[in-house]
Chains A and B, each alone.
Chain A
Amino acid sequence: GAVVSQHPSWVICKSGTSVKIECRSLDFQATTMFWYRQFPKQSLMLMATSNEGSKATYEQGVEKDKFLINHASLTLSTLTVTSAHPEDSSFYICSAKQLGSTDTQYFGPGTRLTVL
């Protein structure tokens, strides 16, 4: 149980284009999902907290207009990287917290974004 999927697993795009990444909780409902970014040999950095039906809460230094987050249902959150640039190339990982459960976060497999 508690499986989280991400799509796509990897994406290569040209500079200036937008990329959408989906995060789904497959066998549970998630009121809260989190988006992280991880650069090589670095720690996961929390970008934003996404609550179903409300606006996302962004961490300090994360541009909300560049990283658009939508959490339209209890099983789906999307992250759109708008006007992507090479410095946005990174490993993007989502996690989900199960509705009514303990504090455990279950992570997706990650999406490798490469911006040329």
Chain B
Amino acid sequence: SQKIEQNSEALNIQEGKTATLTCNYTNYSPAYLQWYRQDPGRGPVFLLLIRENEKEKRKERLKVTFDTTLKQSLFHITASQPADSATYLCALEHGNNRLAFGKGNQVVVIP
């Protein structure tokens, strides 16, 4: 069956450190993968998109890697700040621009 797995445990991290989140998937062949941020009671906010032929993408303090052999994406927030505290969602394309989402991984940045 198809699965998208993100760590269910919250990641508590000290301000200024790098937070690293993992997204593993099974039985998908996504043309691209996206990362979103979601705050409680709000819709997801787009952060980064990475395509199957790209290894790495960066945007300001964010970095995403995509390994189609391992079927894994890593999401990094460098120099983390308390304002980065949120839930981060991994989403895979699975045909006709449809997205399948993981459950998300909560990040708590401690001042």
A residues sitting closer than 8 Å to B (CB atoms) are: 4, 6, 32, 34, 41-46, 49, 57, 91, 93, 95, 97, 102-110, 112
Q: Which of B7-55 contact A (CB under 8 A)?
A: 31-32, 34, 36, 41-46, 49
CB nearest to B46 among chain A residues: A104
How far does the Cβ of A105 sit from chain B's closest Cβ, in whole Å? 6
Whether B100 is near chain A, meaning CB under 8 Å from some CB there, is yes
- Please tell me if the beta carbons of A43 and B102 are within 8 angstroms of each other in the complex: yes
CA distance A44 to B104 in the complex (A): 9
- Please tell me if the beta carbons of A43 and B103 are within 8 angstroms of each other in the complex: yes
Contacting residue for B97 out of A4, A97, A107, CB 8 A: A97
Decide: A44 near B41, CB < 8 A? Known: A104-B49, A107-B46: no
Q: Provide the residues of chain A in CB contact with B42, threshold 8 Å.
A: 109-110
CA distance A107 to B89 in the complex (A): 13
- Please tell me if the beta carbons of A46 and B99 are within 8 angstroms of each other in the complex: yes
CA distance A46 to B100 in the complex (A): 7
CB nearest to A6 among chain B residues: B43
Q: Provide the residues of chain A in CB contact with B44, threshold 8 Å.
A: 44, 93, 95, 107
How far does the Cβ of B39 sit from chain A's closest Cβ, in whole Å? 10
- Please tell me if the beta carbons of B103 and A42 are within 8 angstroms of each other in the complex: yes
Whether B98 is near chain A, meaning CB under 8 Å from some CB there, is yes
Decide: A102 near B49, CB < 8 A? Known: A46-B99, A93-B44: yes
| Additional 10 contacts, C-beta under 8 A, given A32-B97, A105-B99 | A43-B4, A43-B101, A43-B103, A44-B89, A46-B98, A91-B41, A95-B44, A103-B32, A106-B46, A107-B43
